[in-house]
Structure 1
């Protein structure tokens, strides 16, 4: 093994190989999760085959025992789906592995921190997040608009069934407020989707309740009026 000096003067020999550590994380979590579900290695292999990517029982057994030399990403993805968890939870088993390495020759860090950086939840300087922030913003706007529309419907019903004039007026005031919130969220959502398209990106599909956000083809009516 080639030695590499670390920042604190220690060498790589003082730590397990990074690849071995990551594979050990996955193997340990696959084994733990499999047993938690009460499955044998064969049952897990059968489930992987059902998902369309066979992983033989002996391959799973060798992985869990550390005898397997490599671990393809596609295997991690299918194993996670078979075990009804997420791939990142196999790579960084929070709560079951206290510390891990993110890259070769780096110091051990809390597994929770490694997972957050891996998913992009914790931003790193000079790292390009791609379009993830845009899609997260889009999802937030969709949730806001849908919630406002639901509240508007409830307030409309409350106004229709109010036993007194005062309660009717209060419900109508709430309905108007929620309607304004929905319009604002949809208006912002429309601009987000337009900007994504201008960048050559296909925006996420909208739920039917927000079908009026995107302009209709060949429509001459300004979208602001139709929202």
Structure 2
């Protein structure tokens, strides 16, 4: 997806097939680069795809890499990525190997990192769009992990307080335990909020870690979205 900056006077209709060709060329080049990096032949890659339940013949892979193949189905991209032990998104946006990329036709190239973050929803698209469900699932993951970490840290600090050999060390350890306990409580509230928002939007929240099974019974609907 390395693209030259569009001419102000370019034919905008011609940009559509050109952009599609460049997307496919980027994927093909990255498949070839990753395959060689792993020491795989085209037949090895074909065998790996077949082992994943979606055969992609060796000649199809060769035609794709040499840009003789005119189409590249999404299902092929997913299976090729799995066979190459790489995230599918890095076939589309090869970080470190392509500096700039064109996210959509009729747009100027941007940094590959920015295009990848747009694809994953970390940044709004061309119209500034963001998905609340994606945001809340990410918040859910973040706050759940933060609770578990804070609770482990609090437990360790309590152990330090119990085994301290001076009153000063005991007090310091207890203050640290209180700090991590408060931190866990904060993230517990935020986790409840994320779960409430997911339900409010008609979704089903992710399964909780067994250690956090008490979150839902105490959940309350938030007054406003952050």
TM-score range for the pair, normalised by the shorter chain length: 0.7 to 0.9
**Equivalent residue for 1:102?**
103
Determine if the alignment matches structure 1 residue 40 to structure 2 residue 41: yes
Partner of 1:151: 153
What root-mean-square deviation, in Å, do the aligned CA atoms of Structure 1 and Structure 2 show?
2.3
Which residue, 169, 172, 176 being the options, matches 2:171?
Answer: 169
The two structures have a TM-score, normalised by structure 2, of 0.85
CA distance in 2, matches of 1:110, 1:170: 47
Q: Measure the CA separation in 2 of the matches of 1:47 and 1:187.
A: 45
More contact order relative to length (CA 8 Å, sep ≥ 6): 2
Task: Determine if contact 1:49/1:55 at 8 Å carries over to the other structure.
Answer: yes
Runs of at least 5 residues in structure 2 that lack an aligned partner in the other structure? 1-5, 221-226
Q: Work out whether 1:119 is the aligned partner of 2:120.
A: yes
- Offset of 1:62 from its aligned partner? 0.8
Aligned positions, number:
213
The Cα offsets for residues 173-201 of structure 1, whole Å up to 9 and x where unpaired, read as 21122112212211221232123223321
Q: Cα distance 1:197–1:223, how it changes in 2: closer, same or farther (>3 A)?
A: closer
| CA distance in structure 2 between the partners assigned to 1:208 and 1:178 by the alignment | 20
Q: Residues 15 and 134 from structure 1, CA distance in 2 versus in 1: closer, same or farther, beyond 3 angstroms?
A: closer
Q: Give distance in 2, aligned partners of 1:105 and 1:168.
A: 65
Deviations 1:12-47 (A, max 9, x none): 568971111000000000000000000011111111
Q: For structure 1, list consecutive stretches of 5 or more residues without a partner in the other structure.
A: 1-5, 216-221
Secondary structure of the 1:60 match is helix
